[in-house]
């Protein structure tokens, strides 16, 4: 192994740290979480996640009979079923923390957990 | 160097890269975004044996044709962004700092920047930088592994080709 290779590996470790720190930073912005479903970059559904909520099942219609069924519970969010060719979104499993996202490239669908709930401000936000 | 022979050699390399690109598409997906990067072998070989401009041509033609044969416009965008960025980095490392790097190091750096390019485009397409952070750790770990073997493979190919009499004459 040469000197440059070592630099490459150090750079790789640094990148992994940056990624993990970034995920952590995005996950600790406030306590409340909400789930946003986007199709083609446009928000099609969003909901707040709170303790004791009833599980929500949302069906994303990406046109041409393409669909993804998103299952949202307090503990986790996952894509339960989809008819995309690669099934990556189903296989990638559930996400739990803010900043995480499930992406279905063939259907151009993103399901992400965001910190807070800026999209639907409630009375408390105005009062404070 | 004979222009026609060079063109034929590049065409052969591009078709090999294209086949590797397509074969990779048949492989089962371990985790989203993780690929072996086999086509990168041909990029590296071109970079060393022909030069930077030629490698860039191989990457661009391979990405465009590969996405046309199996993929979509978005896939082409990812493939191009990753491929060009990785080619720029590998070219810079090889022609500037060759003495300090082994093939494996250069190829690993290329694999890492391939991921960064793709993730930047993905962040741009989906409008959230979160994708970059979420996928970076996993993809970087994979890049270190696949980059090593891609580098090893291209080292042996380059060594073999350089030993061939017809190829020596070819390089002229």
Rg (CA), chain A: 18
Whole-Å CA distances, A89 to A45, A96, A102, B129? 17, 15, 6, 19
* Strand blocks (E) in A7-127: 33-39, 42-49, 56-61, 67-72, 77-82, 101-104, 109-115
**φ and ψ of A33, to 5 deg:** -125, 150
First-residue to last-residue Cα distance in chain A: 59
Residues in chain B closer than 8 A to A110 (CB atoms): 126, 128
Distance CA A25, CA B101 (A): 34
Chain A, residues 9-68, CB within 8 A of chain B, namely 9, 11-12, 15-16, 18-20, 22-23, 26, 38, 41
Q: Which residue has the higher pLDDT, A128 or B45?
A: B45
A12, B130: Cβ pair inside 8 Å?
no
Instruction: Kindly state the DSSP code that residue B151 receives in the 8-state scheme.
Output: H
* pTM assigned to the model: 0.70
B131, A103: Cβ pair inside 8 Å?
yes
If asked whether residues A3 and A62 sit together in one domain, one would say no
If asked whether residues A1 and A39 sit together in one domain, one would say no
Q: Containing H/E element for B14?
A: helix B3-26
* Among candidates B109, B126, B136 on the partner chain, residue whose Cβ is nearest the Cβ of A103: B126
If asked whether residues A38 and A10 sit together in one domain, one would say no
Lowest mean pLDDT among B6-10, B42-46, B60-64, B86-90: B6-10
Residue A36: give the domain boundaries: 31-127
**The dihedral sign for the CA sequence B140, B146, B152, B157:** negative
CATH number of the domain within which B27 lies: 1.10.1760.20
If asked whether residues A89 and A120 sit together in one domain, one would say yes
Q: Which two tokens stand for residue B89?
A: 């980095």
Mean pLDDT of B147-154: 95
Beta strand A42-49 with A56-61: parallel, antiparallel or unpaired? unpaired
If asked whether residues A53 and A107 sit together in one domain, one would say yes
Residue B27: give the domain boundaries: 3-171
Distance CA B102, CA A3 (A): 9
Distance CA B122, CA A65 (A): 24
Beta bridge partners of A69: A59, A81
If asked whether residues A16 and A46 sit together in one domain, one would say no
The tally of domains found in chain B comes to 1
Reading across the β-sheet that carries A42-49, which strands appear in turn? A42-49, A33-39, A109-115, A101-104
Distance CA A113, CA A107 (A): 19
**pLDDT above 70: percentage of residues in chain B:** 92
Distance CA A118, CA B107 (A): 43
3-class secondary-structure state, position A108: coil
Residues 6+ apart with CB under 8 A from A66: A83, A84, A106, A107
> What's the pLDDT at A124?
44
User: Running along chain A, 128 residues long, what does each successive block of 10 average in pLDDT?
Assistant: 90 92 68 82 85 85 88 88 89 83 89 66 42
Residues in chain A closer than 8 A to B133 (CB atoms): 18-19, 22-23, 26, 99
> What's the pLDDT at B52?
93
If asked whether residues A114 and A92 sit together in one domain, one would say yes
A100, B102: Cβ pair inside 8 Å?
no
> What's the pLDDT at A97?
79
Rg (CA), chain B: 16
- DSSP per position, B36-87: --THHHHHHHHHHHT-HHHHHHHHHHHHHHHHHHSS-HHHHHHHHHHHHHHH
If asked whether residues A59 and A118 sit together in one domain, one would say yes
> What's the pLDDT at B58?
95
**The dihedral sign for the CA sequence B89, B94, B96, B101:** positive
Residues in chain A closer than 8 A to B34 (CB atoms): none
The tally of domains found in chain A comes to 2
> What's the pLDDT at A119?
44
B130, A112: Cβ pair inside 8 Å?
yes
CATH number of the domain within which A47 lies: 2.60.320.10
B15-25 pLDDT, tens digit each: 999 999 888 87
> What's the pLDDT at A26?
67
If asked whether residues A86 and A111 sit together in one domain, one would say yes
If asked whether residues A16 and A35 sit together in one domain, one would say no
Residue B160 in contact with partner chain A when CB distance is under 8 A: no
If asked whether residues A56 and A104 sit together in one domain, one would say yes
- Give which of A6, A9, A12 to mutate to test B binding, by max B Cβ within 10 Å: A12
B91-120 pLDDT, tens digit each: 999 999 889 999 999 999 999 999 999 889
Distance CA B67, CA A128 (A): 52
């Amino acid at each position: 192994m040469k000197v440059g290779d070592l630099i490459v590996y150090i750079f790789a470790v640094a990148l992994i740290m940056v990624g993990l720190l970034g995920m952590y930073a995005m996950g600790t912005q406030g306590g409340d979480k909400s789930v946003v479903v986007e199709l083609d970059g446009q928000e099609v559904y969003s909901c707040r996640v709170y303790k004791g909520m009833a599980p929500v099942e949302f069906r994303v219609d990406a046109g041409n009979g393409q669909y993804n069924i998103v299952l949202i519970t307090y503990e986790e969010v996952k894509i339960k079923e989809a008819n995309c060719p690669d099934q990556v979104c189903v296989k990638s499993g559930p996400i739990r923390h803010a900043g995480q996202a499930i992406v279905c490239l063939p259907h151009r669908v993103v399901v992400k957990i965001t910190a807070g709930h800026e999209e639907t401000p409630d009375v408390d936000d105005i009062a404070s | 160097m004979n222009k026609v022979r060079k063109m034929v050699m590049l065409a052969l390399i591009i078709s090999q890269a294209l086949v590797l690109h397509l074969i990779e598409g048949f492989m089962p997906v371990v985790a989203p975004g993780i690929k072996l990067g086999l086509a990168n072998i041909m990029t590296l070989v071109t970079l060393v044996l022909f030069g930077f401009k030629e490698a860039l041509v191989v990457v661009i033609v391979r990405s465009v044709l590969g996405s046309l044969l199996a993929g979509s416009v978005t896939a082409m965008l990812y493939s191009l962004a990753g491929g060009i960025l990785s080619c720029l980095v590998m070219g810079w490392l090889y022609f500037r700092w060759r003495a300090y790097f082994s093939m494996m190091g250069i190829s690993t750096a290329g694999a890492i920047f391939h991921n960064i390019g793709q993730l930047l485009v993905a962040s741009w397409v989906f409008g959230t930088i979160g994708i970059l952070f979420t996928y970076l750790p996993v993809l970087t770990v994979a890049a270190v592994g696949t980059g090593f073997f891609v580098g090893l493979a291209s080292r042996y190919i380059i060594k073999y080709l350089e030993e061939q009499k017809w190829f020596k004459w070819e390089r002229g």
